[in-house]
């Protein structure tokens, strides 16, 4: 199976369609979506509808939580809060209902998927060794797919070993070999708002037979996504940051 990995789409329709096109051209027959489909960008309904059409497992992120529950917006910065309020007003009731149905954790035989981490599925940024260790302790499959930090990266360890956790970053793309006897926490990066100083859209592909994960950076129409954000009256910073990948 060739599984396409999409996370943190953030209502960026141009990035989402470019990534799906790229993954389909690489032979992806299934998809996994790791949450934060909405928030920040100008096309929340279109992104929800495309993701729904993939018939893929889809996780709940902190932006879904914030749209559904105003209390969950309190820790958001002002631009993110404004975007969540705009998104909540503009989403169709059908898409809101679908977002409310998304699970916090999803498990298959060979992998587990969560937006944040296994210790805090919605809100934890899994970016260092100590947060990776906590998730490894709760992980019972070889792979855990995560999103949320918008940083294309992976943690790995020998199964059952809490020492010697390694971290790799993939800001320019790359490949990761999945070895038997090891466990992996993998973030393929953000489709719609990359934050590793590379403005190209990020997505991933797991070839389960070959035992390889590919980290891709995909060109998309950044200028159009920015123009739509400005036209929608969303905070200017949400458009500007797309140019820098931050």
Note the residues at the interface with Zn ion (CB under 5 A).
Answer: 8, 36
Distance (Å, rounded) from C-alpha 31 to C-alpha 59? 12
Minimum CB separation of residue 50 from Zn ion in Å reads: 17
DSSP 76-116: S-HHHHHHHHHHHHHS-HHHHHHHHT--SEEE-SSEEEESS
Minimum CB separation of residue 35 from Zn ion in Å reads: 7
Question: Nearer to Zn ion by C-beta: 11 or 183?
Answer: 11
Distance (Å, rounded) from C-alpha 178 to C-alpha 163? 19
Minimum CB separation of residue 213 from Zn ion in Å reads: 20
Question: Nearer to Zn ion by C-beta: 8 or 124?
Answer: 8
Question: Nearer to Zn ion by C-beta: 4 or 35?
Answer: 35
Question: Nearer to Zn ion by C-beta: 14 or 36?
Answer: 36
Minimum CB separation of residue 61 from Zn ion in Å reads: 6
Alpha helices in 118-161 (DSSP H): 129-138
- For residues 24, 8, 231 and 19, what is the CA-based torsion angle, rounded to 10 degrees? -10
Minimum CB separation of residue 81 from Zn ion in Å reads: 14
37 SS3 class: coil
In the block, residue with structure tokens 């060794």: 129
The angle that helices 44-53 and 78-90 make with each other, rounded to 10 degrees, is 70
Question: Nearer to Zn ion by C-beta: 41 or 142?
Answer: 41
Distance (Å, rounded) from C-alpha 6 to C-alpha 104? 16
Nearest Cα to Cα of residue 16 among 56, 57, 46, 59: 46
Minimum CB separation of residue 161 from Zn ion in Å reads: 30
Minimum CB separation of residue 63 from Zn ion in Å reads: 6
Question: Nearer to Zn ion by C-beta: 8 or 65?
Answer: 8
Question: Nearer to Zn ion by C-beta: 26 or 81?
Answer: 81
Q: Is the separation of the CB atoms in 15 and 47 below 8 Å?
A: no
Q: Is the separation of the CB atoms in 183 and 161 below 8 Å?
A: no
């Amino acid at each position: 199976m060739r599984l396409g990995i999409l996370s943190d789409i953030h209502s960026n329709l141009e990035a989402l369609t470019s990534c799906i096109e790229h993954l389909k051209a690489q032979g992806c027959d299934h998809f996994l979506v790791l949450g934060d489909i909405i928030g920040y960008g100008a096309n929340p309904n279109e992104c929800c509808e495309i993701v729904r059409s993939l018939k893929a497992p889809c996780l709940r992120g902190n932006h879904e939580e914030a749209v559904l529950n105003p209390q969950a917006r309190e820790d958001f910065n002002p631009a993110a809060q404004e975007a969540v309020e705009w998104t909540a007003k503009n989403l169709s009731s059908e898409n809101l209902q679908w977002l409310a149905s998304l699970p916090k954790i999803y498990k298959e035989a060979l992998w587990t998927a969560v937006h944040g981490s296994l210790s805090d599925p919605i809100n934890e940024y899994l970016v260092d060794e100590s947060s990776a260790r906590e998730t490894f302790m709760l992980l019972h499959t070889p792979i855990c797919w995560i999103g949320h930090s918008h940083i294309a990266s992976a943690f790995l360890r020998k199964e059952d070993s809490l020492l010697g956790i390694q971290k790799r970053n993939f800001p320019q793309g790359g490949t990761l070999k999945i070895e038997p006897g090891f466990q992996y926490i993998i973030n393929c990066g953000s489709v719609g708002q990359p934050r590793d100083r590379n403005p190209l859209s990020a997505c991933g592909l797991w070839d389960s037979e070959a035992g390889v994960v590919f980290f891709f950076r995909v060109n998309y129409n950044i200028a159009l996504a920015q123009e739509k954000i400005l036209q929608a009256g969303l905070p200017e910073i949400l458009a500007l940051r797309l140019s820098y990948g931050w």
